[in-house]
């Protein structure tokens, strides 16, 4: 599954150089992940479970700048599942010129609120994620 979320660059996203501040890209990719989760999970069921999904690593590469008024598309998909962790690939594309703006790999873990520890993925979730990864190849 590939989710595409569009964000228009606003004035409050800009830094002193009049392009998107690097910290804002973390917010943009987070918005992309939440939109992905909206499609991937049943919200009622997901929020009632014992699991939470803390981010444990983000590797981000800035490829080109985005400016006021640009329309950006955040593309989000699963790329790898481990025993307790999942990695997503997120890219931000400038819709106007199709330039790659950002590439990021985001890893998070399946964390049990009750156990207060990372836990192995439940089999049904692992199967759903693996199917999503396979369909993206």
Residues with catalytic function: 15
Please give the DSSP secondary-structure letter assigned to residue 67: B
Distance CA 40, CA 26 (A): 21
122: number of Cβ within 10 Å: 13
DSSP code per residue over 85-122: EEEEEEEEEETTTTEEEEEEEEEEE-EETTTTEE-PPP
Cα–Cα distance, 65 to 47 (Å, whole number): 36
């Amino acid at each position: 599954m590939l989710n595409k979320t569009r964000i228009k660059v606003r004035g409050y996203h800009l830094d002193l150089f009049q392009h998107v501040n690097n910290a804002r890209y973390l917010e943009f990719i987070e918005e992309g992940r939440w939109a992905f989760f909206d499609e991937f999970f049943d919200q009622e069921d997901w929020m009632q479970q014992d699991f939470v999904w803390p981010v444990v690593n983000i590797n981000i590469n800035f490829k080109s700048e985005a400016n006021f008024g640009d329309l950006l598309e955040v593309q989000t998909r699963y790329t790898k599942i481990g025993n307790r962790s999942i990695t997503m690939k997120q890219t931000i594309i400038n819709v106007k010129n199709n330039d790659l703006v950002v590439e990021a790999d985001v890893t998070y873990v399946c964390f049990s609120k009750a156990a207060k520890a990372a836990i192995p993925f439940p089999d049904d979730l692992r199967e759903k994620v693996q199917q999503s990864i396979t369909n993206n190849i």
